[in-house]
Amino acid sequence: MERIWAPWRIDYILGEEKESGCIFCTKPAAKEDDDNLIVHRAVCAFTMMNKFPYNNGHLLVVPYRHVPDICLLEPDENSLLVQEVCRALQVLRHVMRPDGFNIGINLGKSAGAGIEEHVHYHIVPRWNGDTNIMPVLADIKVIPEHLGISCKKLQEGFTKLYPQVSKEEEK
């Protein structure tokens, strides 16, 4: 029998104690981007890796403003948020070369929102043949690259493709 080890998933599977506060507010405020898996910061939004990804390179694009619904953002905030989604797509295309993407927002717990009080986009890169029998039979998803390595690659991708876009320069 082959064994696949993914020890970082156990915290999510067992429902370990959740961090206090909104991670989408506390993580960017901490200024510890590597530890918090933040790959890019822009004026109204930032991009971070999902700590419990559906697939390798699973990103979250989050407005800095704490609101539960995109309809509560100002039009310029929504525009800048979507611009950050587009930057994230381009970086993923450049760094990871996926065949496609799933992109979406889960509004409300019944829609699957894990953090329903702070709206965010999910960007899940997809490759032809990236699914197999493991999730069906064993409820296991194999992520082939360590999050820290993916994080560094994506940070470098943002720096290479968008060196002019930073919190200060985008204003």
- Ordered by start, the domain boundaries in the chain are 21-161
User: Alpha-carbon distance 45 to 55, whole Å?
Assistant: 22
Q: Kindly state the average pLDDT of the residues 5-14.
A: 57
pLDDT score recorded for residue 16: 57
User: Alpha-carbon distance 126 to 138, whole Å?
Assistant: 20
> Residue 168: pLDDT above 80?
no
State what percent of residues in the chain have pLDDT above 70: 77
Q: Which CATH class is domain 21-161?
A: alpha beta
> Residue 141: pLDDT above 70?
no
Q: How much is the pTM? A: 0.81
pLDDT digits (tens, 9 = 90+) for 68-114: 999 999 999 999 999 999 999 999 999 999 999 999 999 888 888 88
Write out the H or E segment, with its range, that includes residue 38: strand 38-41
pLDDT score recorded for residue 170: 46
Whether the CB-CB separation of 87 and 155 falls below 8 Å is answered with: no
Give Dmax (Cα) for the chain.
55
Q: Any catalytic annotation for residue 120?
A: yes
- Which position among 40, 120, 122, 146 bears the catalytic label? 120
